[in-house]
A and B are shown apart, each in its own frame.
Chain A
């Protein structure tokens, strides 16, 4: 490890790893630090990603693909379900990853491109000069050291503290944190090519419960509920345990995962002098699905490209890094977040009766592409009443 780098990346998840890879490939000196002793563990993710979204950043590899998806199923509060299929039935639409291996692969690629990597290394304070971030104090196995950097990328996840220490308020509103719990279960009867989503105020208030296949008779069975609905005796784990007892009484849980997923709007500003915030730390998770892997990789890559250009031009203040903030907000990803935020706000207010009506409107849907936008458009076609209530959405979706 050196004392000075062009770029310091805090966090070894998909946002940080892609940022480090992109910057290293551009010829910059990069240090990526991860506070945990291992990249990829513990997993705090349901591990789903779209086929094309993944391919934008990394070649699919069977070593870290647990399952290939061909369809999805929505189950309403009354148990009636709607099947979502690709227009070309049987074609691949997405993957369930093995994040422990996937995250390592991304960091390997960053290291292969020339980035330095340190694990069990925590950024415990920013180095500041004249209000600008100039690197960080790193705690490495009980020792403190300073690393100076032209630009620092905070990719420190949902529990991000670094940006807060730099003066950015990252607090997630209680009602917009998905309090989540997931079991990796095996020896269960599932459709190994289908993701299943269970909706309803009794099942998962203001959230959903999922079964994401992970291979033979194995799946991530998890739930996210609004922090507002969580409390003693009715926490995410209580809901999940109830579901599992009923649905998979003989299943075996081989991993228990908990987590928080933000479904709020992204941070108001994701740059400061010498600082860019990416991934979950920037609150760029899709507010409708809770999916964050692609958005993390996208913002990580963009952060590194903008930082790289700014460094080449010799100015790394907030104004010079602002193109990052503007670019992701106006990207398809940024627009999808804004749109899906509105859809989420509408859906969480629906009664179980209305949810049932929507899901009853089709036994199955053939999807041109497997996006939430296509799904919502199809549902609106079949539920004209819904369209009337959704003036905002109509404007957004067109």
Chain B
């Protein structure tokens, strides 16, 4: 896993924009209508989800190797 996904859940409204634009199907919307990470290992930290999130709820950082 090369990335760190931070989700500010209270801000998420479950619009699904991040899910639709993720090229690696990392994200999904759960039954409560909030975003969740389903396949963290596939994340390539491209930041497409963060770029277009209208609610500033998801942030992706490249993991710095210790």
Q: Is A bound to B? A: no
